[in-house]
Chain A
Amino acid sequence: MDIVPWSVAAPVIGAAFLASLVEVVEAFTIVLAVKTLRGWRPAALGTLAAIAVLGLLIVLLGPLLELAPLHGLQLVVGVLLLLFGMGWLRKAILRSAGIIPLHDEDAIFASQSAQLASASRQTSLDWIGGLTAFKAVLLEGLEVVFIVIAVGSGRGLLWPAAAGALAACMVILAIGILVHKPLARVPENTLKFGVGVMLSAFGVFWTGEGLGVPWPGQDLALLVFAAVFLCAGLATASILRRAPLEVRS
């Protein structure tokens, strides 16, 4: 088995870890709301069922990825990463500039709790709580699966990327068990900013590789792309914060 250089594996593991951290925090908030109102059983059952579905998806999709030609795979994954990463970066810049509100885990927890409490008045079945946890973990988990596949498949680094995502799950689970309340103090927009930057950089890199671009410095070009995306994002947010745009008539 080839040993992957740390300079190649680190950005992949880092991107998968940080992106998964954001998604797991969002899923955790909803699972915690279910646990608080309906008990640990529906919360755990819904979560485990969603993890099983996600696992099945990975088992089914994994072998298909190995059959795809590398350049074609890099191009498709690169374009999807560009769309996904730049979408995250756009939103993070807008939040950082104060144009759209920050993601508020406390508010989401309160809203989910209110919805569950209202459903509880209509029926006492735990399956509503279980389904809520299932949906939250499935929907956020789909993004994690995509990110792991996207950042890992271009260089055959699916396992290191999956390890990064798993580490994020473990970290949030451990913190969640200790704190036992919504993880509102996680600097979610800062993380999303960083992840948007990294995914956009990966997107440019893989799309270029898929089209046969010989990037100077090879994998180190990724770091340059990330640095430029970061500077451009921070500068745009700073300019918008200081001088809100005038509307053209």
Chain B
Amino acid sequence: MSLIVEVAKELLGMFLADAVLTMTTLVLVAIVACLIVGLHVDPLVGGGLLFVGSLLTVVGAVVREARRQSAS
């Protein structure tokens, strides 16, 4: 039983290592999907937003963790 729990934890940990990073990424994808599918914005603009947003998300996550580490 504990093995199944560990496998489940490992699987979750693969995608939820940083909750804020995960949430920001999901919100970014949802916004881009709404723009492209719902508001019929040029898909290339949506793609550009997805790319730049992903870059900012990962850099933001690093800076946030660096701040947290230096505070502790």
| Residues of chain A at the chain B interface (Cβ within 8 Å) | 79-80, 82-84, 86-87, 89-91, 93-94, 97, 99-100, 131, 135, 138-139, 142-143, 146, 200, 203-204, 207-208, 211-216, 225, 228-229, 232-233, 236, 240, 244-248
Contacts and interface: CB of A to CB of B under 8 A. Distances in A.
Interface of B: 3, 6-7, 10-11, 14-18, 21-22, 25-26, 29, 32-33, 36-37, 43-44, 46-47, 50-51, 54-55, 57-59, 61-63, 65-67, 69-71
Given A135-B6, A236-B59, A203 B54 contact: yes
Contacts of A216: 44
B44 A236 contact: no
B36 to A, nearest CB: 5
Which of B10, B11, B62 is packed against the most chain A CB atoms within 10 Å?
Answer: B62
A211 B36 contact: yes
Given A99-B69, A138-B7, A212-B43, A86 B58 contact: yes
Contacts of A240: 62-63, 66
A104 to B, nearest CB: 18
Contacts of A89: 58
Given A87-B15, A236-B62, A240-B62, A135 B46 contact: no
B58 A207 contact: no
Mostly, the A contact residues are helix
A207 B10 contact: no
Contact of A213 (B7, B10, B36): B36
Given A135-B3, A248-B67, A211 B61 contact: no
A214 B67 contact: no
20 contacts: A79-B25, A83-B25, A84-B14, A86-B25, A86-B61, A90-B61, A90-B65, A97-B62, A138-B3, A139-B6, A142-B11, A203-B54, A208-B46, A208-B50, A212-B36, A212-B37, A216-B44, A236-B63, A240-B62, A244-B66
A139 B61 CA distance: 25
Contacts of A91: 17
B50 A143 contact: no
A90 B18 contact: yes
